[in-house]
Amino acid sequence: MRIIVSLLGLILLIFPSALAFISPKDDLSRPAQNSSPKVMLAGDQPIAEIAVHKIGNTWLTITNIGQFGLGYLGAAIDPISGLAAPSCIFPAGSNINYLYVAGFWIGAIVGRDTLVSIGVDDYYNVVEFWPSPKPEGNIEMKSIQSSNQFYDETAISEQDIIAVYTDTVTDSRRVATDPTDGRGHIPLNIEITQRSFAWSYEYAQDFILFDYSVKNIGNKKLRQVYMAIYVDGDVHHTSLSGADAYMEDMCGFLRTFPAEVGCGFVDTINLAYIMDNDGDPENTTSFGQKAARGVAGIRVVRTPSDSLSYSFNWWVTDYDPSHDFGPRQLGTITDPFRELSGVLGTPPGDRNKYYIMRHREFDYDQMFTAVNQTAAGWLPPPNNGVDIANGFDTRYLLSFGPFDISPGEVLPITFAFVCADSVHTHPGDFNNYYNATNPTIFYNTLNFSAPARNSMWASWVYDNPGYCSDTSNPTDLCYRGKYRVCVYDSTLKIDTSGQPPVIETTTVYNKADTT
């Protein structure tokens, strides 16, 4: 069954000229640098639509234009409930928001040109993915629940949302002229089938899985392809607005965390996240019901190759180019420092975006911005480093590649949008312990056990550890993924009949056979 609803944020206006997309952020987001009108006219095709994941503890709006979250759309109606659609509310019903907008990026070398197609970026009126005209471009929903109106025996989860879109639309009414490159959109000629999955089960209710099939529908080989997920978080209770809502974000990357089971092992988490700087406590002794104590982030769980490089970059976008900042390494002879069109943070234009995606850099966490890290190869802290470190309107990009895509070839990508609560443990910690020039003490008060657990469960739900995916192999030869063996010396058992001693062990599978 298909579901059809137009975005209220893309209101169909019957006017000879259309209005520009306008960001609800009302002060420090850099304004778009072009004046091209970018709203659909009545009768035009294709039509942007939404659907809402609302089955679990994470309520998230999905679109068919290469982005999720409401972002500059501002407002839309959930086609199922008829109520206002959430951008990303977690926990369910709490009115605590964890996302402004997120979108898919892909860049490649085509011939001698560097091209990038995006769902959204800091110039919020730039949208370069669009669905086919109706009805082919409509969002589709499925469910494994037999009682659900969208029940389908081919469904994967309790709530599947499927959207298909391409980067081939070049109509200037829909796709803005890039203000840096000074040219209209040049497509890579790709088609993306986006499937997102949600569950209500306790172990899976805090994340949404996204499965992308990226197809080259052109006649040219795409070389040195990099893909990325762009996220602008804005963590706050929806009763807040303006700077109180989006100028207190802190961004970071959680690489590892102690495993919950197994002999002191360490799990690989690889979660890029955004959180509120202090959790918005009611006061220094109580968090209250409006506190945003958690995080939301992205973890990649499947790529076409295990040998890809990853990059994590964050930046703040500002009216004043001198305040536009993201961590940058000093550069080397083989990989020199690149000027990003007059700023250190926001990557404007196709070439700068591609550089950020393919540049193998893992930025330090935002709260360390005011700490001098030149000895480790980073540029000195900016003049506004303390302000940024304290919390700012921050975006991040998680990138991976390279790979080539031949005409007709399809590559799979899977990532999880993970939410988790109770990272801020005490309401007075930020006030008592945070120091921009020495943030480690405050960082150590944070509890990342819930994000780590949910991130691991996202990868396990995608592909169960200890289970053989290749059923063609004999049972005793089938690879079931990576595992750990714990040896408990304290439980050494001695057989008094003269047999060798028995050592009790526990085998724990921690990574599946296809990830």
- pLDDT at position 133 over 70: yes
Question: Comparing 138-142, 243-247, 258-262, 425-429, which segment has the lowest mean pLDDT?
Answer: 258-262
Q: Are residues 480 and 444 in the same domain?
A: no
Confidence (pLDDT) at 7: 39
Q: Are residues 249 and 282 in the same domain?
A: yes
Domain assignment present for residue 1? The answer is no
How does strand 309-316 pair with strand 394-405? antiparallel
Q: Are residues 132 and 177 in the same domain?
A: yes
Domain assignment present for residue 377? The answer is yes
Three-state secondary-structure class, residue 431: helix
Confidence (pLDDT) at 434: 98
- pLDDT at position 343 over 60: yes
Token readout for 515 is 């990830």
Q: Phi first, then psi: what are they for 117, rounded to 5°?
A: -115, 140
What pTM was computed for the model?
0.86
Confidence (pLDDT) at 330: 87
Confidence (pLDDT) at 419: 98
Q: Are residues 358 and 495 in the same domain?
A: no
Question: Comparing 314-318, 417-421, 438-442, 460-464, which segment has the lowest mean pLDDT?
Answer: 460-464
- The 10s digit of each residue's pLDDT in 172-216 is 888 888 778 888 999 999 999 999 999 999 999 999 999 999 999
Burial of 285 (0-12, 13-18, 19+ CB in 10 A): exposed
Number of domains in the chain: 2
Mean pLDDT estimate for the chain:
84
- Residue 488's domain comprises 470-515
Q: Are residues 376 and 476 in the same domain?
A: no
User: Which three-class secondary structure string do you get for 328-389?
Assistant: CECCCCCCCCCCECCECCCCCHHHHHHHHHHCCCECCCHHHCCCCCHHHCECCCCCCHHHHH
Q: What number is the average pLDDT over the span 283-308?
A: 92
Q: What number is the average pLDDT over the span 475-499?
A: 51
Helix-strand-coil split of the chain, %, nearest 5: 10, 35, 55
Confidence (pLDDT) at 475: 53
Q: Are residues 406 and 514 in the same domain?
A: no
Confidence (pLDDT) at 136: 86
Q: Are residues 487 and 456 in the same domain?
A: no
Q: Are residues 233 and 299 in the same domain?
A: yes
Task: List, in sequence order, every residue forming a beta bridge with 104; answer none if it has no partner.
Answer: 229
Confidence (pLDDT) at 396: 98
d(CA 367, CA 357): 23
